[in-house]
Amino acid sequence: MNKMAPSLYLKANIATVLLVCVGAAQAQMTPVGRWHSLDDKTGEIKSEIVIAEQGGVLSGRIDKLLRKNADQAARCTECSDDRKDKPIVGLEIIRQAKRADGKDVWEDGKILDPENGKTYALRMTPIEGGKKLEVRGSIAFLGRTQTWVRVASQP
């Protein structure tokens, strides 16, 4: 073995580590995962939402209600579609979101506000390296944006 071989192995190992790190960072630039939604007024954590992908389409459901004194048996009494009177825990609130062409933006889906039963056009954009998610619901030109926080993975 010549003196250059260890140097080449070191460079190859460093390159491999960098590629793995870049891949991990890019993997987080997706809405897929667990998120805490926050109250617009108080900043209090309201719920934990799980967003999943199947066939390139995202859906999301409420996994836990985290607000103090939240009624864990609450139902979507204001909903007017197939979710009418379904339990809030387990309720699918995100439907049919798809990635915009080559961008870290998911849109063309719908998001339900279970507090008022209204469904809005949806746009989701991971920010801060995928640690947060901008969730925009809108009707026509009116809407609001919330920032959700990714739930740290458990060891």
Q: Which of 35, 67, 61 is nearest to 48 (CA)?
A: 35
Q: How confident is the model at residue 2 (pLDDT cuts 50, 70, 90)?
A: low
Domain residue extents for the chain: 1-29, 31-150
Higher-confidence position of 117 and 40: 117
| pLDDT of the residue at 16 | 45
What is the rounded average pLDDT of the residues 15-32? 55
| pLDDT of the residue at 25 | 42
Q: Which of 77, 76, 143 is nearest to 110 (CA)?
A: 143
Helix, strand, coil % over all residues of the chain, rounded to 5:
15, 45, 35
Report the alpha-carbon distance of residue 119 to residue 13 in Å, rounded. 50
What is the rounded average pLDDT of the residues 99-107? 92
| pLDDT of the residue at 102 | 81
pLDDT tens-digit map of 68-99: 999 999 999 999 999 999 999 999 999 999 99
Which pTM does this prediction carry? 0.79
Average pLDDT, the chain: 85
Q: Which CATH code is given to the segment(s) 31-150? A: 2.40.128.520
